[in-house]
Amino acid sequence: MRLSTLILRTFSILWLFTLLGGVAVYLSIEQNNRLVGEVQHGQEEITHITALLNSVLDLETGLRGYLLTGEADFLAPHAAARARLPGELAQLERQLMIDYADSNHAAEHLAVVRKVERQIEQWLDVAARPQLAAYQKDPALSVALVKTQKGKVVVDAIRRDLLGLSRHLTQEVKQKEALNQANLRRLQLFAPLGVLFALLVSIFFGIRLASGVALVFNRLRTSTQDLASGNLGTRAPLSDLYEPRLLAEDFNQMATALELAQHEIADRNIVLERRHREVSQLAELSDALQSCQDKEEGYRILGQALPLLFSGWSGSLLTLKPSRNLLETRAVWGAGVLDTVGTMHDPGSCLALRRGHTYEPSGLSPSCAHHGGHAGSYLCIPLLAQSEALGVLQLAGAPEDGPLPEHLRSFALTVAQQIALAIGNLGLRETLRQQSIRDPMTGLFNRRYLEETMERELHRATRDQQSVSVLAVDIDHFKKFNDTFGHEAGDAVLLAAAKTMQEYFRAEDIICRYGGEEFIIVLVNAPHEDILARANGFREKIAALTVKHNRQMLGQVTVSIGVATYAEHGTDVRVLINQADQALYLAKQEGRNRVESATALRPLR
């Protein structure tokens, strides 16, 4: 046998085994590529499921946020999710039907997706559409529908089905990854054995080839294990060999897609958590403001709540005084304090109030005078209720913070609307309260307020061992003013007498119009003799009055006064008032324009 033949035969066998080995390696690599493609396909399906789940959450939370707060900005994610859902469902169905090895599994998964489609439509029928319809009629009714949890039950069912499908697909991906690793191990064993079996001459080159291939796949295996353990930042090193390089590039693309999807989900969760926190804080603030008895209590609550709502930012709350010619600082917060509580400003100094809408200066735009010229960006939001300006909410940042974030602007607008509504309601409540306890003509307290207050004053007097005196005051010959000069002249006499009472008596004394021309005055913590002296001083003050009506003198006005003191003349409200009335009648009988004490009456039996 010729050496050349032997060499040829030897190399022919070597070439044959080399060819067979190459074919086996190639097939193994192709199978690995296919498995990696299937893994990537499965991950894409999981990503689509995650996106669909996020859209469902946006659909539900956006609607709920809008119904609870009335803020239209919450409808944006709801509308966007509602527009995305059909496309995402169709895309997921296509993904499940393409390149799927098991048709039975494909049918099961498609059934889950179609079930989710029906559940979404069910949610729209039982929750979204009824709630929106109820909101158009009465926002409180829509909130009640939200609290029935009907929509939440359907959304929870959708989440369970989608999460179950996601877990099933994740299990299949892991199985394919395990099969891929098993193929890699077989390839690691086959390559060196094939080379050794072919010819001893190729041992050196075969070992080098096998060790090189093993190193490549070991690195890829390590990267795969890191990825499976949750390290989405891992990347497979690129090899000089073409096929392993393609495999590593595919692996890296898959890892990048998973990492981006994880970051997107984390960002969405942060936004959802922030929105949930803001909605909860607004609900707590609304409840606190609704429980306030007056504006001052509301301002104290806002002074405590606003620093928490806008933590990390500076700001101030200013409200218009009832005269509407002064803007008072009610609350300040933050590192860069803009003002001090109680400071008064000219309402015209606020550009937001002058323009009637939010003002944020930029470039050469002027700043509000109440801003104080502090560096950094700021935002002024007018507090408007029923188109009436009530004040302004101001937020500001440090120069290094740059422009105020968009989400902060949106939240500040919502808070400003809530504050304006609360202040407006408190003002209306105070107005109604004053109307219920004030006499509309004289502005004095009415009989209802007297009856409510006297009980409280007597209890306090008993507890603190103080005296309470009641003055029954009646304008003498009042009918003569009406008959001679007309009822408008009589009203002028009543107004003059009421004004004199408010000027003469102390702020803590209670002055009431008891009926017609009769008044009741309650004086606290003064001896009976001092009360009689003060009553006489008031009588003289009235007698010195000059009352004119239509440029005509109405003549002298005098009053008769009866005085009764707790507990000397009685311990009951009705008894005290009756004693003061009896003393008043005695003063009338004794000639009017005088003060009589209940002591002069016969003792009660």
pLDDT at residue 343 in the model? 81
The percent of the chain in helix, strand and coil, each rounded to the nearest 5, is: 65, 10, 20
Q: Return d(Cα 237, Cα 361) in angstroms, integer.
A: 52
Strands 388-396 and 314-320: what pairing?
Answer: antiparallel
The hierarchical CATH code for the domain 447-600 is 3.30.70.270
CA angle 123/125/128 to nearest 5° reads 65
Burial (Cβ within 10 Å: 0-12, 13-18, ≥19) of residue 49: buried
What pLDDT digit, counting tens, does each position of 422-472 carry? 887 877 777 777 777 788 888 899 988 888 888 888 888 888 888 899 999
The encoded tokens of residue 201 equal 């001459």
What pLDDT digit, counting tens, does each position of 292-347 carry? 877 788 888 888 888 888 877 888 888 888 777 888 888 888 776 567 777 888 88
Burial (Cβ within 10 Å: 0-12, 13-18, ≥19) of residue 208: exposed
Place of tokens 């806008």: 310
Burial (Cβ within 10 Å: 0-12, 13-18, ≥19) of residue 216: buried
pLDDT at residue 62 in the model? 80
The radius of gyration of the chain's CA atoms, rounded to the nearest angstrom, is 44
3-state class of 1 per DSSP? coil
| DSSP 8-state symbol, 592 | S
pLDDT at residue 135 in the model? 80
Q: Return d(Cα 523, Cα 401) in angstroms, integer.
A: 59
The encoded tokens of residue 586 equal 């005695």
Domain extent listing, the chain: 15-276, 305-429, 447-600
Which residues sit opposite 468 in a β-bridge?
Answer: 524, 566
**b/e per residue 278-296 (b: at least 16 CB within 10 A):** bbeebeebbebbeebeebe
Supply φ then ψ for residue 485, to 5 degrees: -110, -10
pLDDT at residue 495 in the model? 93
How confident is the prediction for the chain on average, in pLDDT?
80
What pLDDT digit, counting tens, does each position of 140-198 carry? 777 777 777 777 788 888 888 888 878 887 888 788 788 878 877 877 777 677 667 76
In the sheet that 388-396 helps form, which strands lie side by side, from edge to edge?
344-345, 327-333, 314-320, 388-396, 378-385
- Under the banding of pLDDT at 50, 70 and 90, the label for residue 391 is confident
Q: Return d(Cα 526, Cα 537) in angstroms, integer.
A: 15
Q: Return d(Cα 232, Cα 189) in angstroms, integer.
A: 29
CA atoms within 13 A on the CB side of 262: 12
pLDDT at residue 523 in the model? 93
- The whole-number average pLDDT for the span 276-298 is 79
pLDDT at residue 200 in the model? 65
What pLDDT digit, counting tens, does each position of 160-170 carry? 888 887 888 78
In the chain, % of residues over pLDDT 90: 14
pLDDT at residue 533 in the model? 94
Q: Which residues contact 528 (CB under 8 A, 6 or more apart)?
A: 467, 469, 563, 565, 568, 597, 599
pLDDT at residue 578 in the model? 93
What pLDDT digit, counting tens, does each position of 264-274 carry? 888 888 878 87
Q: 305-429 domain in CATH 3.30.450.40?
A: yes
Cβ contact 288:305 at 8 Å: yes
